[in-house]
Structure 1
Amino acid sequence: MSMDNAAPPTAAADAERIGPDLWWLTGILVLGGFATLLDSTIVNVAVGTLAKEFDAGLSAVQWSVTGYLLALCMTIPLSGWAVERFGAKQTWLFSQVVFLAGSLLAGLSWSVQSLIVFRVLQGVGGGLVMPVGQSLLAQAAGTKRLGRLMGIVSIPAMFAPVVGPTLGGVVIDHIGWRWIFYLNLPLGLATIVFSLMKISNVVAPGRSRLDVLGLALLAPGLGAFLYGLSEVGSQGGFDNDGTIAGLVVGAVLILAFCGHALRTRFAPLMDLRLFKERNFRSGTSATFFLSMAMFGAMIPLPLYFQLVRGADVMESGLLLMPQSIGYFLAIVVVGKLTAALGARSVSIAGVFLAVIGTVPFGLITADSSKVLLCSSMVVRGFGFGAAMLPCMTTAYSGLKSASVPHATSAFNIFQRIGASLGTAALAVVLQQRATAELDGRAAGLTQVLPGGDVAHSLAGAFSVTFWWALGLTVLALLPCVTLPGRVPRDDSAPASRTAQLTEPAV
């Protein structure tokens, strides 16, 4: 039998080998992404300190947190157009420079108004970082290498919510509040220097028309909708006029954008027609539900340790670390497992592990073993890592290189909406169950003395909340079933071929 048409073993090995250039790119993306995700949580612990510093109300200072998150979310839709028009490297550098400038100015703030403005500037830069970074990686890596590398790039998303409050508390207590912003400066400068040295455009920029109407609909629509969800989480319900207005206005604008995107003759700001691609549709929808389940529990988990068990911010952060460790362990093995068993099997198995890791939290009491809970978090983190990484790989497999920027924008938007929906849902459940458990003994969770008898009685409220978290995890099984049974062949994906041919440009 002739072997002329057979692929040489070395060619197949090269298609999966991760060279130094790709490792450099991955490291730069992790470095650049960590600071922006850290800023989503690190300022939360400084709200009280900032209110005293600027002699302002807590609600006013809270806008320094809300403004950053809204600006970040509203900027994401621009990432696809910016990459096509100016190039991924140029857009990445722009995002880092803007975020760095915002960090410096936020640290120099002289009033609460100036702080809010500079935090919004930070959010504009931060909103471009993740989708543009993923676009760079998807174009450069190819299908066979993308899952492993995308998992590494997503590590900051797991560690930032854990490290942020802990690091913020230490910095404020020992150095001063301005340094929660100045910490970004060395990270940002290092990212910019390494990016200039090691990153080049895989796909050359070209002429791309900005969808102005789409921007006018989608950006404020996302901002209003996510603001409404954040208010649902903080208020613990829908009985606030601002909450309802945000959700309704946001939903109307987003639906109007969907109609526009499907009818326009030009390239829309977010190309919904990508969902006609089976792999992108199944990978993105699975990630949406998995984000609901995984990030939704990131609020009740630390609150349980701080309120019921009386742990301080640093201790609760350390107690959450096992989940991030489990997620990291999944990255090490999930690539080979997916290649051998297929995305569908690995994701479904991951969801089952996440369910097993969540069950002990549904049975939680005021005296539950910390060793058991930490061990369960390792299993939970591993399960979510094993479930999500094949979804990310699947979403980008088979896409043409020209479609990747818009795909990363849509993927990040759905992932963020899923995380916000999960957070809001579990926050409402926790607030309502806690109110029932307190039965007038305290006005709310913020009025409960941590570690006291009243706090111990709230363990039941957290137990119910974690059962809801388990329900969201089970719900994620539905889209995982639609994933392909095996990873698509790398030589059939146009994006992969282009990426492999142009890898030396990275």
Structure 2
Amino acid sequence: MTKNISKEIPKEKRFLIMIILLTGVFFTLLNETLLNLAIPVLVHEMDAAPSTVQWVVTGYMLIMGVFIPVSSLMIQWFTTRQLFIGSLVVFSLGSLVSGLAAALPYLFIGRFFQAMGTALLLPLMMHTLLMLYPVKKRGTVMGFIGLVIMVAPAVGPPLSGVILEFLNWRWLFFMMLPLILPVLIASIFVLDNVTTVTKPKIDILSILLSIIGFGGIVFGLSFAGDESVSWLHPSVYISLCVGLVSLSGFVWRQLKSVTPMLEMRTFRHPMFSLASLLLFIGMMTQFSTIILLPFLFETALGISAVAAGLILLPGAIINGAISPFIGRIFDTFGPRILVIPGMILLVIGLQLFTKVNTATSTLMFILLYTLVMIAIAMIIMPAQTNGLNQLPAKYYSHGTAIFNTLQQIAGATGIAFYVTIMNAGQNLHLRGANSFGFAVGQADTVVAGIQFAFKVGSCIALAGLIFSLFIRRAIPLNEE
């Protein structure tokens, strides 16, 4: 039987542990988008092509996609304290190496360590909080997790814009060290071990299949998300084919194993499977919207990158701010009262985005994006919490690793898919205009592509709405 940690650790201690975990993850997730605005500066200083420098951002997502699946194994091999402190040390080392980088390869190495630390911290936080809090309070706790996951990446671009305005780009990394140090010290004195170290057999082949499978998919999709690269580019289809074959082998091996690295039997639980689908749709929408709207702002409306980030900031902050309240509603009423209305709002919001044009006001963009972000807050965390609640405790580390891996794959898929759809919409607009002999402006072409992408997105959201009708409050399963 699994020990009831939620009763053994006092309420005040649990709260302190939660704050430490949330703070640590906030600072690490901040780095996922912190370099977005620094790409032009790095291109000039490192004397490299933009497509090469872009991998300091894209590579972060790639490394997270590779290491998150391994986190379920790490959680079983190391104590909570060891893994949390070790991950923060690795992340801090990456920050130091990145800040001191004299050439691009050293910056890539630093970002590798940063991403590896983040990839291990995110599932560890979710798993630890699932163990610390009983089912009846998990909605609220997952709401706080949602606040961190949503606000941290949204704060990255505006914050980096301010730093780049007054300081050198290296301070994007150096500033992390004094922020992480207090969290690291506090974790040494406060953090308790909440899981039992079982040290299962390490399956090297599973690890290799996982790295090649998830890495290949994220790598291929990252290339496909580049507007200048088509899906028929060898870097895309070869990576995707290798990734899918390896992932198929990984899944088969996990199902045959007595002690799998990543327990695929979690998908036998219907609410977990449904949550995975809704999570995938929600994260695809979120990541793609963050890409599509700045592209519209900068290319069609002439808005700067910093201003574009500020337009998106209120929606992200409101999403994070309401997440704890949504969690409390989930604890009281269950998922249906949140997820189904959330999917309806998402369909409405995406449909309204199909009507935007160059005359749409900045305030309207803020309101529409905020509507979409509220809808996503009502969908992702309630569905995710409900899905995890149906799992027995022995599957928690596997469930959190699967959800966090799906987020990375959904993000890469959303960007690649919707950029492709946007380009297709632009081509349709150009062909239609040319057939009638009309002159076409760049702004109108961009708007047509964006509208087409949101039309497809609203159709996918409508399918998600139909699936959401089957959601019900999960009945927790006790570990045998």
| TM-score, normalised via structure 1 length | 0.86
User: Does residue 360 in structure 1 map to residue 367 in structure 2?
Assistant: no
Following superposition, the deviation at residue 340 of structure 1 comes to 4.6
Following superposition, the deviation at residue 152 of structure 1 comes to 1.4
Find 2:236's aligned residue among 236, 243, 254: 243
Find 1:263's aligned residue among 253, 256, 266: 256
Q: Is the 8 Å Cα contact of residues 146 and 381 (structure 2) preserved in structure 1? A: no
Following superposition, the deviation at residue 456 of structure 1 comes to 5.0
Q: Is the 8 Å Cα contact of residues 329 and 382 (structure 1) preserved in structure 2? A: no
Following superposition, the deviation at residue 419 of structure 1 comes to 2.3
Distance 1:19 1:456 in 2: 57
Following superposition, the deviation at residue 187 of structure 1 comes to 2.4
Following superposition, the deviation at residue 329 of structure 1 comes to 4.7
Given residue 454 of structure 1, which amino acid in structure 2 is its aligned partner? Q
Q: Is the 8 Å Cα contact of residues 219 and 239 (structure 2) preserved in structure 1? A: yes
Given residue 494 of structure 1, which amino acid in structure 2 is its aligned partner? N
Would the alpha carbon gap of residues 336 and 69 (structure 1) be closer, same or farther in structure 2, given more than 3 Å must change?
closer
Following superposition, the deviation at residue 49 of structure 1 comes to 1.6
Q: Which runs of 5+ in 2 are unaligned?
A: 1-5, 434-439
Distance 2:220 2:281 in 1: 19
Q: Deviations over 1:253-284 (max 9, x none)?
A: 0011111111123x111110121223322222
Find 2:316's aligned residue among 324, 330, 334: 324
Q: Where do 1:325-340 residues align within 5 Å?
A: 325-340=317-332
Find 1:428's aligned residue among 397, 407, 420: 420
Following superposition, the deviation at residue 83 of structure 1 comes to 0.9
Q: Deviations over 1:17-46 (max 9, x none)?
A: x94333323322222122322222222322
Q: Is the 8 Å Cα contact of residues 347 and 390 (structure 1) preserved in structure 2? A: yes
Would the alpha carbon gap of residues 200 and 367 (structure 1) be closer, same or farther in structure 2, given more than 3 Å must change?
same
User: Does residue 34 in structure 1 map to residue 22 in structure 2?
Assistant: no
Distance 2:312 2:364 in 1: 13
Q: Is the 8 Å Cα contact of residues 323 and 382 (structure 1) preserved in structure 2? A: yes
Distance 1:121 1:165 in 2: 21
User: Does residue 494 in structure 1 map to residue 478 in structure 2?
Assistant: yes
Following superposition, the deviation at residue 109 of structure 1 comes to 0.6
Q: Which residue of 1 aligns with 2:437?
A: none
Following superposition, the deviation at residue 147 of structure 1 comes to 1.6
How many residue pairs were aligned? 465
Q: Deviations over 1:437-496 (max 9, x none)?
A: 568x9xxxxxxxxxx963355222211122222223223224423322x353xxx5537x
Q: Which residue of 1 aligns with 2:464?
A: 476
**Aligned-pair RMSD on alpha carbons?**
2.5
Given residue 208 of structure 1, which amino acid in structure 2 is its aligned partner? P
After superposing the two structures, state which structure 1 stretch, 320-329 or 388-397, moved more: 320-329
After superposing the two structures, state which structure 1 stretch, 454-463 or 271-280, moved more: 454-463
Sequence identity (%): 27
Would the alpha carbon gap of residues 19 and 455 (structure 1) be closer, same or farther in structure 2, given more than 3 Å must change?
farther
After superposing the two structures, state which structure 1 stretch, 202-211 or 402-411, moved more: 202-211
Q: Is the 8 Å Cα contact of residues 40 and 69 (structure 1) preserved in structure 2? A: yes
Q: Is the 8 Å Cα contact of residues 62 and 219 (structure 2) preserved in structure 1? A: yes
Q: Is the 8 Å Cα contact of residues 398 and 494 (structure 1) preserved in structure 2? A: no
User: Does residue 252 in structure 1 map to residue 240 in structure 2?
Assistant: no
Following superposition, the deviation at residue 422 of structure 1 comes to 1.6
Distance 1:380 1:225 in 2: 27
Distance 1:396 1:424 in 2: 28
Following superposition, the deviation at residue 435 of structure 1 comes to 4.8
After superposing the two structures, state which structure 1 stretch, 61-70 or 216-225, moved more: 61-70
Q: Where do 1:289-308 residues align within 5 Å?
A: 289-308=281-300
Q: Is the 8 Å Cα contact of residues 65 and 409 (structure 2) preserved in structure 1? A: no
Q: Which residue of 2 aligns with 1:460?
A: 448
Q: Is the 8 Å Cα contact of residues 29 and 153 (structure 1) preserved in structure 2? A: no
| TM-score, normalised via structure 2 length | 0.90
